[in-house]
Structure 1
């Protein structure tokens, strides 16, 4: 039986082999759910839900709705105990990766490629960014600073003014460049600039 912790590291290698240059962000809050993995490529943001052999489908329908609001593409990664019924549990545009242990090694099989998620809500996708990252997108697109406005207001303005294809690339770029070691400094500087 494979557990979530057994799957993650080998999965990252599998995804990098398939997609090339990627950035992995783990355990990202989105709506009422938490994405197990957010994978960023140069052109898209993927949500990845892991259902190991030890997991159930109890929360999956709610998770699917949340993932579909935030990500361009979605995968579910399932242990062999779920492989027979997973296609009934996720929408047809979700990719499916099965995982099993063979001769002591974790082995992945791509059961179905993901299709573009047409349910993504750009405001939700942009909310994955930190406020200083949104400021950078405002600067790139010569938008007003809106220093005294809320994050939601700024997101609404960005979505209104920036073409989706351009915005999608900029979101990916911000997530690729994200530096968790510098965030405290970035936020302090951002707040100091607002006053």
Structure 2
């Protein structure tokens, strides 16, 4: 009898895989992105990677709308599936999405490398930051502080002032260093 792998098992395998591949990274779970929720966001020093998990018990019912939301927020995207979805998942995700397969008993196999997502918007990535983190980015870019202004006001100001590649690295740095104790 073939054993199914469920979401918690896939997450454990994914986190072990990331620890082997990257020296410095952070992951965030269940992040709201538009009308969807990203299962895992992987934060590297210069990019954000969205990760949708489809366990052997999951269906593709919401995947079309989820991929659209992921593409608005992340530099690369990938889906990590249980073995029952290995053969069919490529029909349900865009060609630039990476595909990984998690196997019961351990290990994650790269099925397709993730390509660069050309639909990502820095505005959406900035919206993942807390107001204090936006303040750090304002300071790094020699901007006025706008202490009494909202995130909605500050984000366009940052986009006007900061160079895109510098801003991408700053967003990643803020998310890697995020302090959840405050």
- TM-score normalized by structure 2? 0.95
Residue 38 of structure 1: which of 38, 41, 45 is its match?
41
**1:6 alignment partner in structure 2:** 9
Distance (whole Å) between structure 2 residues aligned to residue 56 and residue 82 of structure 1: 9
The secondary structure found in structure 2 opposite 1:61 is: helix
Distance (whole Å) between structure 1 residues aligned to residue 93 and residue 143 of structure 2: 38
- Residue 98 of structure 1: CA displacement? 0.7
**1:20 alignment partner in structure 2:** 23
**2:111 alignment partner in structure 1:** 111
Q: Is the 8 A contact 1:71 1:125 kept in 2?
A: yes
Matched, 1:93 2:96: yes
**2:86 alignment partner in structure 1:** 83
Unaligned runs of 5+ in 2: none
- TM-score normalized by structure 1? 0.89
Distance (whole Å) between structure 2 residues aligned to residue 165 and residue 72 of structure 1: 12
**1:155 alignment partner in structure 2:** 155
Q: Is the 8 A contact 1:51 1:76 kept in 2?
A: yes
Distance (whole Å) between structure 2 residues aligned to residue 11 and residue 145 of structure 1: 39
- Residue 55 of structure 1: CA displacement? 0.3
Question: For residues 79-115 of structure 1, what are the alpha-carbon distances to aligned partners after superposition, in whole Å with 9 as ceiling and x for unaligned?
Answer: 11111111111111111001122xxx22210011111
**2:142 alignment partner in structure 1:** 142
Q: Is the 8 A contact 1:50 1:78 kept in 2?
A: yes
- Which of 1 and 2 has higher RCO (CA within 8 Å, sep 6+)? 2
Q: Is the 8 A contact 2:81 2:101 kept in 1?
A: yes
**1:29 alignment partner in structure 2:** 32
Q: Is the 8 A contact 1:7 1:106 kept in 2?
A: no
Once superposed, which parts of structure 1, at least 4 consecutive aligned residues long, lie more than 3 Å away? none
Residue 56 of structure 2: which of 53, 58, 67 is its match?
53
